[in-house]
Structure 1
Amino acid sequence: MAVTQQLARVSAEYLAACRQSAEQSPDGDHHWDPPAEDCLDLDWAPSMLEQACELARLDAVHLDALRRATNGDTDVDLDFLNATPHAIAFFSNSVATALDPDAVARMSELLGEIDIRAILHSVHDSGKVSTLGYGFTGDPTEYLLGHFGALRTFYAEAARRDLLVVLWWD
């Protein structure tokens, strides 16, 4: 089973309902099941995107935004999503994290300012494209363009709808 980065756009009300369900259930079942159209599977792209941005020397503000957009924060209480036997993050010591709507809006803005094509072009020009992605074979440009575009669109929609983004590795 491959371990991939998962994201879900949810309202504060949905998260509260899941928390309440976990508190009321004898086994802590939170009934986490966001709609498929509000979920995104980023596969293994987050680390490759970060690596490409580091190689291209993306400024610290935008690099931090990419990291936060793919790592979340621990400011939102998600203990109920991380509790066994119903933990949503199955990978090793991974836990679910989240970004609140204000952070989502800021990440959306900053992601929108990143020129991923220029970054990948820079990595190509430096001859370091083959160093991206541990074990990735071939040119990852299209893969990374597609996943970054999906991430940017996902955050833009979450910001437009004033939603939280919950992240985990599964």
Structure 2
Amino acid sequence: MALTQQLARVSLQYLDRCREAAASAPDGDPHWGPPGEDTLDLGWAVWELLNFYRWAQPDSRNIGILERSICGDLNTPVAFLDHPEVYDGFDGPPALLAPATVTEVARALAAMEIDSLLATLPAYREVGGFSAFAGDPGTYLAEHFALLRSFYGIAGRQGMAVVVWVD
């Protein structure tokens, strides 16, 4: 089973409905199921991009931006999503980024340029990065970063929250 980074754009009203469903269901099922167009499976790309930044530019503020985009805010309660119908329980339960924070993250991701980072990819591969990767990891990272940026851009423009988890 491969673990991948998952994201979902949701309204606060949708989260309220899931919270109410979890509270009234005997098994706590929140009836989670955002539409497919509001979900994103980033695979493992963002984790490798974070490792790559830590290696190439350990003082980069982009590390914190990427971390926040996939870790959520721990002080925003979505404990009702800690349920097997939402995620497999391997990693921590889902976390939330509130709409105002989503807008901040979207702006920060929009300002990020990863081209200079990707230029150091050959040296990174020589020290063990992407050791089991077949194909062009630069293209893979660039494409998945573009997906992350677009996903947050849409969420920010629509005033939506983002739920993040590993499944």
Q: Please say whether Structure 1 and Structure 2 have the same fold, judged by a TM-score greater than 0.5.
A: yes
Task: Give runs of ≥4 in structure 1 deviating > 3 Å.
Answer: none
Aligned position for 1:128: 124
The C-alpha deviation readout for 1:64-89, integer Å capped at 9, x for no partner, is 01111022121221111103x43x22
RMSD: 1.7
**8 Å Cα contact 2:20/2:30 also seen in 1:** yes
Task: Please list every run of 5 or more consecutive structure 2 residues that lacks an aligned counterpart in the other structure.
Answer: none
State the AA in 1 paired with 2:48. Answer: M
**8 Å Cα contact 1:54/1:63 also seen in 2:** yes
Supply the distance in 2 between the matched residues of 1:134 and 1:108 (Cα, whole angstroms): 31
TM-score (normalised: structure 1) = 0.90
Q: Identity of counterpart residues, as a percentage?
A: 39
Aligned position for 1:100: 98
CA deviation after TM superposition for structure 1 residue 134, in Å:
5.6
Aligned position for 1:39: 39
CA deviation after TM superposition for structure 1 residue 30, in Å:
0.8
**8 Å Cα contact 2:74/2:95 also seen in 1:** yes
Aligned counterparts, 1:79-158, within 5 A? 79-83=79-83, 85-86=84-85, 88-124=86-122, 127-130=123-126, 131-133=128-130, 135-158=132-155
Q: Does 1:50 align with 2:50?
A: yes
Supply the distance in 2 between the matched residues of 1:58 and 1:38 (Cα, whole angstroms): 32
Task: Please list every run of 5 or more consecutive structure 1 residues that lacks an aligned counterpart in the other structure.
Answer: none
Aligned residues: 166
CA deviation after TM superposition for structure 1 residue 48, in Å:
0.6
Supply the distance in 1 between the matched residues of 2:70 and 2:91 (Cα, whole angstroms): 17
Supply the distance in 2 between the matched residues of 1:51 and 1:133 (Cα, whole angstroms): 10
CA deviation after TM superposition for structure 1 residue 122, in Å:
2.7
CA deviation after TM superposition for structure 1 residue 144, in Å:
0.4
CA deviation after TM superposition for structure 1 residue 40, in Å:
0.3
TM-score (normalised: structure 2) = 0.91
CA deviation after TM superposition for structure 1 residue 47, in Å:
1.2
